[in-house]
Structure formats: C-alpha cells, structure tokens
Amino acid sequence: MTLKELADRLGLSPTTVSRALNGYPEVNAETRARIEIAARDYGYRANTMARKLATGRSMAIGHVIPLSNHQMINPIFAEFMAGASEIYSSEGYETLLAAVPAANEVQTYRELARRRSVDGLIVHAPRLNDPRVDLLRELELPFVVHGRSVDIEDRPVFLDTNNRRSFEQATTYLIELGHTRFALLNGMETISFARRRRRGFEQALQNNGLRSDASRMVDMEMTETNAYDVTMKWLNEPKPPTAILTSSTISALGVARAIRDAGLQIGDDVSLITHDDDLSFMRNVGDPPPFTALQSPIRDAGAKCARMLIDHIAGKKVSSEIWKCEFIEGRSTGPAPKETPA
Amino acid sequence: MTLKELADRLGLSPTTVSRALNGYPEVNAETRARIEIAARDYGYRANTMARKLATGRSMAIGHVIPLSNHQMINPIFAEFMAGASEIYSSEGYETLLAAVPAANEVQTYRELARRRSVDGLIVHAPRLNDPRVDLLRELELPFVVHGRSVDIEDRPVFLDTNNRRSFEQATTYLIELGHTRFALLNGMETISFARRRRRGFEQALQNNGLRSDASRMVDMEMTETNAYDVTMKWLNEPKPPTAILTSSTISALGVARAIRDAGLQIGDDVSLITHDDDLSFMRNVGDPPPFTALQSPIRDAGAKCARMLIDHIAGKKVSSEIWKCEFIEGRSTGPAPKETPA
DNA sequence: GCATATTGCCAAAACGCTTTGAGAGGGAGC
DNA sequence: GCTCCCTCTCAAAGCGTTTTGGCAATATGC
C-alpha cells in the first residue's frame, strides 16, 4: 500500500493525503478524519526510505561503539542504550548502532555524515580533548556528549555526573571512619570521567593530610576479573589497603570476591565504596544494601541524553546538566580495623 | 556532493558513474579507475536514503528488544549485539535497534515491515510457540532465531546451544561427585532455552534415581540480586542443597555471594556449576577458573546469527546449527560434603 | 565487405514520499 | 453584483539513487 494507492481509493490526491497524515493545517477536518480511518484500515505506513529522501531527515540517531583491543563490551553502555532507545522509539526516531573496530571510529562518523544516515549522535565516554567533538562540529551533525570534556573550550551540550565531587565525598566518608590506607580501582583514565574520579579521590586525601600512593591507583577496564586480580595483589602486599573505591558494581563484585578469598570480611577488614550505575541486572538493593555506593542511574541518563539530542535537533535551546550522585550507605563500609602490630 | 555533480565534473552520465562505483561490468576499466579516483578525491558517498529507495533494500538489520515489566536489560543481549553488529558493519549493513515496551512488541515488528525499515531480523529468546515466528512469516521478512522453538513445526532457521544435553551432563557430573541435594536457578522458563535446561537437569536426576524438588527449581530473571536472595533462602532451609546449577555467570556471582555470606565454602560445602556466556566483562578465567562452567560464547553466536541472516537475505540456503557447550572444570565444584548427622 | 556481436556509454524512468505554487469554490464585505 | 480573501485541494517538481532499454562505435565471423 503506497500513498498513491491510498489516495486513489479515497479519490483524493497524494498531496492531500500526505498533508492529512502529517498533521498539516490546510486540510478539512472531515477529510482528515476520513483519510485517517482509511489509512488505519488499510494499514498504511509511509515508506521510511521515501520519506527520508523527500524530507532530507533520516529520523535516526546514531551510536558508535568502538570495539577496543580488549574487545570489551560495556554492559553500562547497554543500559544507557535501553534508556535512550525507548525515548527514540516514542519520538518516532530509529536507533542506529555501529559497533566498529576502534581504528575505524573516525571513519565511521565520517561515513554516517556523508551518507546522511543519522540526524544526530550521542558521543560516549569522552576522552581528553576528544577529537570526536571537533569532527562532529566539522561535519555539522548535532550531538550530545554523555560525560564532559573539561579541556574543550566552547563546550558542547553534555550530561554528566559530578564524578569529582562524589569521589571526594566518598573518600572523605572513609577517612572519617578512620581509614588511612586507600586504594582506587578506576575505569580507564583515557576517559574523562575516570580522571575526574581520581582527582576527587586525591583531593580528599590531600585535604586530610594523607598521601595517595600511585601503586594503589589503578585504571583498567572495569571487569570483574580485573578487579579480582588487582585486589588480590594488593591484599597480599604488606600494609594492604583497608578502604577501596571502585568505579562500577561489576568491579566491586570482583573486589568483594577477592576480599573473601583472602579470608577477610567486607565492611570489617576492608571497606568498599563503589560507583553504582544502577544496572538492572545488578541492583544494589537490600536493607541495608550490600554496597555503600555512589548511585546514578545510567538508564535515566540515556533517556535524558536522548531527549536533549532530540530537542537539539529540533533547534531548541538545550542546556547541559550535571547530575549529583546519591550516596547510599550499605554494608560494605565500616570503621577502620585496629592496627595489628605486625 | 551528489552522483550527478560527480558525473558532471567527470563529463560522464550518472548512469556510468553509478555502475562504475557499484562494480557493474559494463564499464571500461580505464573509465572506472578515473571515476573511482575522483570519487575518493571528492569524498563522494552515495546518499543512503536515495540508494535504499531506489534499490528497495534498506541494508539494515533489526533487533527488537522488549523492555519487560521488570525493566531488565540483558547484558547477555548486549554481548550478542556486539558480535552481530560488527558483522553487519563489515558487510555494509546497518544495525537498527528498537527497545520498546513489551506490549508494543508485535506492533513494532509490523511497523518495521510496513515501512520496510529493515531487510531482516534476529529473533531473540524465543518463547514456546513463539508468535513472532508466524508473524514474521506472514510479514515475509527474513529472520534467524537465536534459540529454538521446539514446538514449532517447519522450524525457521536458528542457532542454538545444546542446552538440554549440557545441563544433563553438568548435573551428572555433580551426581558422580556424590551430591544428592540439588537446586536449579534457571532463567525465565517462558523462554525456551530455560525449559530445555530444566529438562536436562531433571533427566540427569531421574537417570540416577534422584527426585527433583519443585521448590528447588526456580526460574527468574537472571540478576545477581535475585540469585543471592533465592540461594540465601535455600541455604537457611533444613537439608540445604549441596549442589547448585545456575543459568548465567551473573546469577552465579549472586549464588557465590550468598554461599559466602552464609559462612560456607564454594566447591567445598556447596558446589556450583554455571552456564557461562563468556561475557567480556565477566570472564571466567584463571587456572583453574573460579567457576566450573558450561561455556558457550554468546558473542560468537551473535556473529554467526548475523552471517546466517545475511546469507538468508541473499537467498542462499542456510542451515540451522546447534552448538555444543564446552565443559570447564573450575574451583566451584568438589565432592559432596559428608553428611553431618543433625 | 557485409552482417552480427560486443563494448561502453547515456537518457529517461522508476522508487514513494514531501513540498511548492497555483487554482477552484465559496463566503464576506461593500 | 463585484471584488477580495479564505479554505481546501491538486498537479507537478523535487529528493539522489538504481535500473531499463537503447544506441553508437568498435570488434568479430564469414
């Protein structure tokens, strides 16, 4: 069923039918109703391609995921996508996913632009001085950044959490519990949020006259296994940390497993605070929940970014947002253990 | 830069330029070379929409994810997507994602078909007598099923793992270790793979004169938290299970946490075997790895399904495949503990 | 040397929609 | 009754490709 066929059956011109269905004002209410009913009855839907070609809008939002060397797929990203994609659908947009080898990332953006495949993009996990920002500006594609590139002047529209402040706050909380030997299990510091978290961590230590130990600050892909290995190594060192901060619940599980395998008690021998993206398959719930955490639902962030981008594309003025993490006291923290004289 | 512009600059017709760039034979090698160089220099790319409209092919593959009531996003799905999407990209296809409320699922398929937005689809997590199979046949859209609908005669093309046999094998392994009190922590049994796993589990028990206990077989969304809660409950019952099988590493982590929180030792007091989709952020590695597992890399499955679908669309004959899980002995299993006379 | 293939190119017609510009019909204003 | 202005509708021209059908020019077969 094409527009023309539908028009023929109604004894109207394609023009009128098109206008009626697209909500243009210059069509009689009665005619419109008749057209709408017919369209529904015949199950007519405009052919996406034809519409896109005619309007010049693709009605699609792109998400480019670079598959890193490590070939790690980020479940956090998946949760973000779920939030975003739901909004796209409800607003009539399609979600275009491009999982490409990291080396092809820039090329992929260029292609998307040249072929006009998408109306806009979300930039994930911005790095320092992220080249994608300039690239997308050059390509004149609307975009919203999830995260912040502090170093970029004339900042693009972004949504971020207050990573620095959160980690400073969490660290201070642990300091007040008497802890003095800290460790930070961070995400990859090529990505700006990780840097900001470290800065918050270091700031809190410094504010309280404590020194950060480079060997106790690790940045890595946030896998359970990585976290386990690193924590195990730390715990086997002399003067192991009694307080660990980590960047995701996934790593937190690895840390927790290591602590237990080392024969220690979480929240007792070793305290742990994690950033918690509130992943649907890994909810930090209970009364109190297992982890003391800095929570910021990534899914909501996805939905919000989607809305911001859609508004941005529509030419509306959108302003960036910085969300606060919620601090949740759980069972993974407690007073620093008494020093056992070696 | 449009095709016409490019043709004008070259002093050729759009026809010839199009043919040259699309590899048709009826163009002089010399001319073709000239065209290709010019296209590269000017950075010409065919407009996706125009091409789609002209060819009638959307060069996109759709994945519809129903967002359930529980609003759980499946990280396993994300890993599958990564595998699939990479293949699509490399074959010139785009990946279309539609995350919609479960209630809109059928409607979404219908819309995708009517608007001709995709050339084919992957059906995820088939249920018993899954209505999507008939629907997609009716809509005449090519598709590949990830999983099996045993009940459907004239089965569609599918890729599955031998879930029944694997779970039978794993259960038998535990029986041979002397275990007699079992529990199964399954995925949602509305989905066919979960049923098959249970059948394998029950079969093994029956083969060895053991009875399955309905209260020790639970199906649920595979979250860490769910797994923790259920396991905790079991462990607090009289005659708790000494052997637990679970459907994903995520639930396995929950089980493990519960076992430890109950003051028990994994592989010692309680044995655990998990199905392992080999998620990139949760690799079951080590020597031996922490979990005894039935491993089947979901990412490879995604890539394979993608290839099957692309071949299917191209009209090639593709046959379904059933993959075997690899049995990996890890540290989470051991001989049944001696019965302590209560 | 003539008829017949083959090669290399082009003009024009799709593809199915939106949008522009125009025009018929009817009501209002004088 | 005439003009003017709405309201509603339409024909036609895009949008940027691919594809069909054809036509010169050259090569091939006898």
pLDDT digits (tens, 9 = 90+) for A65-115: 888 755 556 788 889 999 999 999 999 899 999 988 888 899 999 999 988
pLDDT digits (tens, 9 = 90+) for B96-106: 999 888 888 99
pLDDT digits (tens, 9 = 90+) for A220-258: 988 898 999 999 999 999 999 999 999 999 999 999 999
Q: pLDDT: is A103 or B145 the higher one?
A: B145
B78 — pLDDT class (breaks 50, 70, 90): confident
What average pLDDT does range A284-304 have in this prediction?
95
- Would the pLDDT of B279 be above 60? yes
Does B121 reside within a domain?
Answer: yes
User: Residues with Cβ < 8 Å from B127, sequence gap 6 or more?
Assistant: B149, B190, B191, B192
CATH number at residue A25: 1.10.260.40
Q: How many domains, chain A? A: 3
Residues B146 and B174 in one domain: no
Does A206 reside within a domain?
Answer: yes
CA of A53 to C1' of C25 (A): 34
What average pLDDT does range B64-75 have in this prediction?
72
What average pLDDT does range B192-203 have in this prediction?
96
Does A340 reside within a domain?
Answer: no
Phi/psi for B18 (5° steps) reads -60, -50
Strand duo A326-328 + A292-295: pairing: antiparallel
Residues B77 and B203 in one domain: no
- Would the pLDDT of A171 be above 90? yes
Query: Which tokens sit at B29?
Result: 């090698």
Nearest CB to A49; choose among B49, B97, B114:
B49
**Domain boundaries, position B120:** 60-160+299-322
CA of A50 to C1' of C17 (A): 5
**Mean pLDDT across chain B:** 93
Q: Which residues of B touch A299 (CB under 8 A)?
A: 73
Residues A180 and A192 in one domain: yes
CATH number at residue A127: 3.40.50.2300
**Cβ atoms of A310 and A329 closer than 8 Å:** no
Does A121 reside within a domain?
Answer: yes
CA of A54 to C1' of D18 (A): 17
Residues A147 and A167 in one domain: no
- Would the pLDDT of B342 be above 60? no
pLDDT digits (tens, 9 = 90+) for B219-237: 998 888 899 999 999 999 9
Does B192 reside within a domain?
Answer: yes
In the prediction, which pLDDT does B232 show?
A: 97
In the prediction, which pLDDT does A340 show?
A: 61
In the prediction, which pLDDT does B70 show?
A: 53
- Would the pLDDT of B341 be above 60? no
Q: Which of B57, B70, B80, B89 to mutate to test the interface with A (most CBs of A within 10 A)?
A: B89
Residues A85 and A22 in one domain: no
pLDDT digits (tens, 9 = 90+) for A11-38: 999 999 999 999 998 899 999 999 999 9
Residues B141 and B169 in one domain: no
3-state helix, strand, coil in chain B (%, to 5): 45, 20, 40
Residues A75 and A95 in one domain: yes
Residues A122 and A89 in one domain: yes
A322 — pLDDT class (breaks 50, 70, 90): very high
A265: buried, middle or exposed (CB in 10 Å: 19+, 13-18, 0-12)? exposed
**Cβ atoms of B58 and B52 closer than 8 Å:** yes
CB contact under 8 A, A281 and B74: yes
- Would the pLDDT of B285 be above 60? yes
Q: Give me the amino acid identity at B204.
A: A
Q: Which residues of A touch B53 (CB under 8 A)?
A: 47, 49-50, 53
Residues B250 and B279 in one domain: yes
Q: Which nucleotides of C are covered by protein (CB under 7 A)?
A: 7-12, 14-21
- Would the pLDDT of A202 be above 80? yes
Residues B314 and B276 in one domain: no
In the prediction, which pLDDT does A70 show?
A: 53
Does B330 reside within a domain?
Answer: no
Residues A168 and A282 in one domain: yes
Nearest CB to B48; choose among A115, A222, A280:
A115
Looking across all nucleic acid strands, the nucleotide with the smallest C1' to CA distance from residue B29 is C8
Residues B194 and B293 in one domain: yes
Strand duo A158-161 + A143-146: pairing: parallel
Radius of gyration of chain A (CA): 25
What is the per-residue DSSP string for A176-234?
HTT---EEEEES-TTBHHHHHHHHHHHHHHHHTT----GGGEEE----HHHHHHHHHHH
Does A333 reside within a domain?
Answer: no
